[in-house]
């Protein structure tokens, strides 16, 4: 199954929910910053993430965006920022 790179951006009102969401995306994260991780996932994993996030968030207060990154576009990072650029991915 092919993987795609997504940028996840979230704004969570409650500190406990914020910590849960941060821990949740830690297992998918390949690059990015605290509340804006880059994840490299299959379509099945993306569906699982969407279902899980619905349970983690309070949709009346919190916000999350999953943004597909176009693999043809050159990534530009400033400062100490680093993006995911491995030609392969292995989960052990």
CB 28 within 8 A of CB 92: no
Residue 75: its pLDDT value, please?
67
Domains located in the chain, CATH noted = 4-68 (3.30.70.240)
Mean pLDDT by 10 residues, the chain (92 residues): 88 94 88 81 94 94 91 68 59 50
Instruction: State in Å, rounded, how far the first CA of the chain is from the last one.
Output: 17
Please list, residue by residue across 9-38, b when 16 or more beta carbons sit within 10 angstroms of its beta carbon and e when fewer do: ebebeeeebbeebeebbeebbbbbeeeebb
Quote the pLDDT of residue 52. 95
Q: Which residues, 6+ apart, have CB-to-CB distance to 45 below 8 Å? A: 28
């Amino acid at each position: 199954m092919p993987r795609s790179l997504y940028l996840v951006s979230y704004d969570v009102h409650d500190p406990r929910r914020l910590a849960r969401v941060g821990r949740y995306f830690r297992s998918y994260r390949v690059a990015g910053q605290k509340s804006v991780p880059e994840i490299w996932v299959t379509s099945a994993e993306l569906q699982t993430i969407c279902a899980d996030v619905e349970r983690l968030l309070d949709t009346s207060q919190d916000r999350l965006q999953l943004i597909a990154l176009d693999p043809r576009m050159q990534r530009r990072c400033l400062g100490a920022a680093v993006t995911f650029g491995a030609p392969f991915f292995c989960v052990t």
